[in-house]
Amino acid sequence: MSTAERAGAQDPRAQGRGGDEARLTVADLGEEGLLARFAPLLPHAAGEVVGTGDDCAVLAAPDGRYAVSTDMLVEGRHFRLDWSTPEQVGRRAAAQNLADAAAMGARPTALTVGLAMPGTTPVAWVEGMVAGLGEACAECGAGVVGGDLVGGRAIVISVTVLGDLQGRAPVTRSGARPGDAIVHVGAPGRSAAGLALLSAGIGVGEAPGLAGRGPALAGLPRAVDAGTRAEARACLEAFRAPRPPLEAGPALARSGASAMMDVSDSLLRDGDRIARASGVILDFDEPATGEGALADAVASLMPVARLLADDEAAAWAMARAWALTGGEDHGMLATVPAEALGAPAGADRLPDGARVIGRVREAGDGESPGARVGGRAPGAGLGWDHFGG
Amino acid sequence: MSTAERAGAQDPRAQGRGGDEARLTVADLGEEGLLARFAPLLPHAAGEVVGTGDDCAVLAAPDGRYAVSTDMLVEGRHFRLDWSTPEQVGRRAAAQNLADAAAMGARPTALTVGLAMPGTTPVAWVEGMVAGLGEACAECGAGVVGGDLVGGRAIVISVTVLGDLQGRAPVTRSGARPGDAIVHVGAPGRSAAGLALLSAGIGVGEAPGLAGRGPALAGLPRAVDAGTRAEARACLEAFRAPRPPLEAGPALARSGASAMMDVSDSLLRDGDRIARASGVILDFDEPATGEGALADAVASLMPVARLLADDEAAAWAMARAWALTGGEDHGMLATVPAEALGAPAGADRLPDGARVIGRVREAGDGESPGARVGGRAPGAGLGWDHFGG
């Protein structure tokens, strides 16, 4: 909070809580008024030596190291004000950063948050966003230890996550070894399916907070069965407010994971990154075989795909593409030595929800390291080597 | 670098370095192409356990703690593309964050950088900005350990700084005690004067890189003497690309500073924050007495103020306001116990350039803690309790 130009002019008339609260804008309240409202919504970090409100926060690093990563979200690109409630946007901003720390095998300890926004932004929107962000942090024991509020043409949220490796070696993307199993924790493709639903007008314009709870689902015919509605809701929620399996990151590290990423861009794209950084082939199971966790994931997406596709074959292709090439699920994608799979119950066991979805093998003569599906190189049609997931 | 939607589409045709380099845009090159260009421009952090390119970087925290702060800069608010070269914008983005770490008494160790920008942004602009940012980091031994590139309507730069307290207690804003001296390292008011010059059209539209070197100064009459030109250049440079006295932060901490901030908003505004957090009065010397470092600062700004003011009295009032209420100088403002002033040469001595600019005293009965100038409360006319400096 240390630049001279701010989100809006401070107007003493707006400092009172009376008047038309719903129409109160960021410019009405000013930076100090906003900060006074946000402070109660933000959890403290466990290892907080100096909290928010000074030039810097100071955090403990018990093992003498810390993990750090920064991600930005831009209105109209990463979220839409008519597609998500402010709470969902805040939860998403937190989740994708918390997942980055977990994917190094770290426990997320704190976030800092930079927020650029027009002076016309309703205070209620910002308050909701901050509340959602704070909730996501509180659930995993992380704090919010500082940030910046500035004026801007569109809403831009920049989040930095700090993490504690708890004495373990960081799990990078370059350690995958031939013979390792590819393991995933999460529900691949749900976020992409949620985006597809919203793009088709399903779930758009729901009342704030309704998603996942109310009986209706805007844009959906009444005849759609309850199971399909439930899966559609889960997909919308995964896109709007992902809940990454944050515990699984450190747990996979304890199990001896050789490489790990959270799935930001897609199973195939991020798997390809691990493969290339490690100099190996990551061969994902082909869902078409009907066996294994990826086949299960595709099957669970089929009811939603049928809402959008003209026929069964098109629905299947759509569901398969969501699972393999859809982004922003923020599940944990790891490679683990084969011996970890059969580990007995205890500290080194794979975490609950971990499913094997492929195998790591050596790259053959003249073969480039990279991702495969059922032994075959993914075609350009899968879209996984282009931006935009 | 972990979101699905990016600054632009990757176009293989633009990957070659041939063609019209000057017209190459961010959308032409794509995120991976941009990253490949930036990597050589970015210094590594000294305590880098895992560098950029993974889900997180991992940094060493030798004393088991680290300082962290986030600041955002928005195009059109914190910088203008026609007022500053890209190198200057990058240097400024780095400087204001590095100063936040120094003002805790920490050595800045690393930055992460989030960058939102339109796809039409010239690659040359981004490259220049990153180079300026990297230079400012390299000069103080800090690294750049990660970040994010996303599309956006305007350029938004979000920087997070990490710092190492080197075993010392953090210097917060709440430790000022009656009897302490107010000490400052820097040239207060130069940045505000630079902004005033640019607002009056002086220095606008100079060729990139010219500021501070070339013989001309756009918009200035030829008759202006060399001394005035030199001071005007120093002011423009202070606004465009501040060089905070980063060494002075840890040095003041070693001298026993009881409270410290970098001057982001103004001497009076930030001094008022220290005073209120500490429950004391910070009484700054009145420049009108003609004696002391603040009087010297005002005197050195007078030649520049005369370029903009109608008469000598108006020039003096302008120079005084720049020094006391101008923001974004990022000098180090500290309170130090009186005994530190007379310390002999050695580890505990005040750093070079430290000047006494006032005294800390107890708040009297019924008196609110806050800043004073020459014993008097600054009026609203000083502007220091409003946004915008």
For residues B176 and A8, the model is more confident at B176
Query: Based on the domain organization, do A223 and A353 belong to the same domain?
Result: yes
Which of B4, B68, B165 comes nearest A162 by C-beta? B68
Which residues of A are less than 8 Å from B31 in CB distance? 387
Query: Based on the domain organization, do A119 and A216 belong to the same domain?
Result: no
Cβ–Cβ of B113/A64 closer than 8 Å? Answer: no
**CATH number of residue B245's parent domain:** 3.90.650.10
Instruction: Indicate whether B343 pLDDT > 80.
Output: no
Kindly state the average pLDDT of the residues A127-131: 96
B324 contact partners, CB below 8 Å, separation of at least 6: B188, B189, B266, B267, B268, B284, B287, B294, B373, B378, B382, B384
Judge whether B134 is annotated as a binding position.
no
Q: What is the pLDDT of residue B272?
A: 95
Which residues of A are less than 8 Å from B60 in CB distance? 64-65
Instruction: Indicate whether A308 pLDDT > 70.
Output: yes
> Confidence class of residue A236 from pLDDT cuts 50, 70 and 90?
very high
Cβ–Cβ of B70/A262 closer than 8 Å? Answer: no
Cβ–Cβ of B148/A71 closer than 8 Å? Answer: yes
Q: What is the pLDDT of residue A221?
A: 78
Cβ–Cβ of A388/B9 closer than 8 Å? Answer: yes
Query: Based on the domain organization, do A86 and A229 belong to the same domain?
Result: no
Instruction: Indicate whether A141 pLDDT > 50.
Output: yes
Q: What is the pLDDT of residue B346?
A: 62
Q: Which of A8-12, A323-327, B304-308, B355-359 has the lowest mean pLDDT?
A: A8-12
Alpha helices in chain A (DSSP H): 26-38, 86-102, 123-139, 190-199, 226-240, 248-254, 267-278, 293-308, 312-325, 338-341
Q: What is the pLDDT of residue B280?
A: 98
Q: What is the pLDDT of residue A389?
A: 29
Q: What is the pLDDT of residue B342?
A: 77
Q: What is the pLDDT of residue A31?
A: 84
pLDDT tens figures, B52-71: 889 999 999 999 999 999 99
Residue B117 lies inside a defined structural domain of this protein:
yes
> Confidence class of residue A216 from pLDDT cuts 50, 70 and 90?
low
Q: Tell me the nearest-neighbour CA distance from A223 into chain B, angstroms.
A: 34
Task: Give long-range contacts, CB 8 A cutoff, 24+ apart: A76-80.
Answer: A76/A154, A76/B153, A77/B5, A77/B150, A77/B151, A77/B152, A78/B3, A78/B5, A78/B150, A79/A240, A80/A198
Residue B149 lies inside a defined structural domain of this protein:
yes
Q: What is the pLDDT of residue B159?
A: 98
Closest listed residue to residue B94, CA positions, set B57, B56, B147, B52: B147
pLDDT tens figures, A146-165: 889 999 999 999 999 999 99
Which residues of A are less than 8 Å from B150 in CB distance? 72-74, 77-78
Instruction: Indicate whether A5 pLDDT > 80.
Output: no
Contact present, A328 and A193 (Cβ < 8 Å): no
Residue A142 lies inside a defined structural domain of this protein:
yes
For residues A350 and B8, the model is more confident at A350
Q: Which domain holds residue A250?
A: 181-382
**Burial zone of A24 (CB within 10 Å; 0-12 exposed, 13-18 middle, 19+ buried):** middle
Residue B185 lies inside a defined structural domain of this protein:
yes
> Confidence class of residue B207 from pLDDT cuts 50, 70 and 90?
very low
Selected residue of A42, A72, A121 to mutate for chain B interface (largest B Cβ count, 10 A): A72
User: How far is Cα A253 from Cα A348, in angstroms, rounded to an integer?
Assistant: 9
Which of A57, A77, A110 comes nearest B5 by C-beta? A77
Residue A186 lies inside a defined structural domain of this protein:
yes
Instruction: Indicate whether B216 pLDDT > 60.
Output: no
Q: End of a domain among A114, A138, A164?
A: A164
Residue B172 lies inside a defined structural domain of this protein:
no
User: How far is Cα B376 from Cα A122, in angstroms, rounded to an integer?
Assistant: 38
What letter does residue A289 receive in the DSSP assignment?
A: G
**CATH number of residue A154's parent domain:** 3.30.1330.10
Selected residue of B56, B161, B333 to mutate for chain A interface (largest A Cβ count, 10 A): B56
- Across chain B, what does the average pLDDT equal? 88
Instruction: Indicate whether A181 pLDDT > 60.
Output: yes
Instruction: Indicate whether B2 pLDDT > 50.
Output: no
Contact present, B97 and B142 (Cβ < 8 Å): no
Instruction: Indicate whether B39 pLDDT > 90.
Output: no
The count of domains in chain B is: 2
Query: Based on the domain organization, do B130 and B193 belong to the same domain?
Result: no
Cβ–Cβ of A158/B57 closer than 8 Å? Answer: no
Which residues of A are less than 8 Å from B54 in CB distance? 104, 170, 172-173
DSSP B86-135: HHHHHHHHHHHHHHHHHTTTPEEEEEEEEEEE-TTSBHHHHHHHHHHHHH
Kindly state the average pLDDT of the residues A354-372: 96
> Confidence class of residue A384 from pLDDT cuts 50, 70 and 90?
very low
Query: Based on the domain organization, do B136 and B187 belong to the same domain?
Result: no
Closest listed residue to residue A169, CA positions, set A73, A257, A266, A51: A257
Instruction: Kindly state the tokens that stand for A324.
Output: 């393999």
Query: Based on the domain organization, do B233 and B347 belong to the same domain?
Result: yes
Query: Based on the domain organization, do B191 and B154 belong to the same domain?
Result: no
Judge whether A310 is annotated as a binding position.
no
User: How far is Cα A199 from Cα A201, in angstroms, rounded to an integer?
Assistant: 5
B26 contact partners, CB below 8 Å, separation of at least 6: B7, B8, B34, B117, B118, B119, B120, B121, B122, B123, B126
Judge whether A219 is annotated as a binding position.
no
Instruction: Indicate whether A78 pLDDT > 80.
Output: yes
Q: Tell me the nearest-neighbour CA distance from B18 into chain A, angstroms.
A: 22
Instruction: Indicate whether B387 pLDDT > 50.
Output: no
Instruction: Indicate whether A99 pLDDT > 80.
Output: yes
pLDDT tens figures, B127-145: 999 999 999 999 999 999 9
Query: Based on the domain organization, do A45 and A83 belong to the same domain?
Result: yes
Kindly state the average pLDDT of the residues A59-76: 97
| ipTM for the predicted complex | 0.90
Q: What is the pLDDT of residue B380?
A: 62
A17 contact partners, CB below 8 Å, separation of at least 6: none
pLDDT tens figures, B72-90: 999 999 999 999 999 999 9
Chain position carrying tokens 């719903």: A22
Q: What is the pLDDT of residue A230?
A: 93
Query: Based on the domain organization, do A212 and A349 belong to the same domain?
Result: yes
Query: Based on the domain organization, do B160 and B185 belong to the same domain?
Result: no
Which residues of A are less than 8 Å from B258 in CB distance? none
% of chain A at pLDDT higher than 70: 88
Residue B7 lies inside a defined structural domain of this protein:
no
3-class SS of residue B224: coil
Residue B226 lies inside a defined structural domain of this protein:
yes
Kindly state the average pLDDT of the residues B295-309: 97
Instruction: Indicate whether A7 pLDDT > 80.
Output: no
Judge whether B316 is annotated as a binding position.
no
Q: Tell me the nearest-neighbour CA distance from A106 into chain B, angstroms.
A: 10
Which residues of B are less than 8 Å from A153 in CB distance? 74, 76, 153-154
Which residues of B are less than 8 Å from A116 in CB distance? 72, 74, 156
Torsion A176-A180-A183-A188 (CA) sign: positive
Cβ–Cβ of A30/B147 closer than 8 Å? Answer: no
Chain position carrying tokens 């747990």: A251
Q: End of a domain among A137, A164, A191?
A: A164
Cβ–Cβ of B68/A110 closer than 8 Å? Answer: yes
Instruction: Kindly state the tokens that stand for B64.
Output: 């088991």
Buried b (16+ CB within 10 A) or exposed e, B166-200: eebebbbbbbbbeebbbbbbbbbbbbbbbbbbbee
Q: What is the pLDDT of residue A205?
A: 65
CA B219 → CA A35, A104, B75, B189, B199, distances in Å? 41, 54, 23, 21, 11
pLDDT tens figures, B353-380: 999 999 999 999 999 999 999 999 987 6
Which of A68, A261, A262 comes nearest B162 by C-beta? A68
Instruction: Indicate whether B6 pLDDT > 70.
Output: no
Q: What is the pLDDT of residue B182?
A: 98
Kindly state the average pLDDT of the residues B308-323: 96
Q: Which of A32-36, A79-83, B147-151, B252-256 has the lowest mean pLDDT?
A: A32-36
> For chains A and B, what is the number of CB pairs under 8 angstroms?
276
Query: Based on the domain organization, do A203 and A128 belong to the same domain?
Result: no
Q: Which of A54-68, A128-142, B206-220 has the lowest mean pLDDT?
A: B206-220
> Confidence class of residue B347 from pLDDT cuts 50, 70 and 90?
low
Q: End of a domain among A164, A194, A210?
A: A164
3-class SS of residue A191: helix
Q: What is the pLDDT of residue A322?
A: 97
> Confidence class of residue A380 from pLDDT cuts 50, 70 and 90?
low
Kindly state the average pLDDT of the residues A164-173: 98
Q: What is the pLDDT of residue B345?
A: 62
Query: Based on the domain organization, do B243 and B297 belong to the same domain?
Result: yes
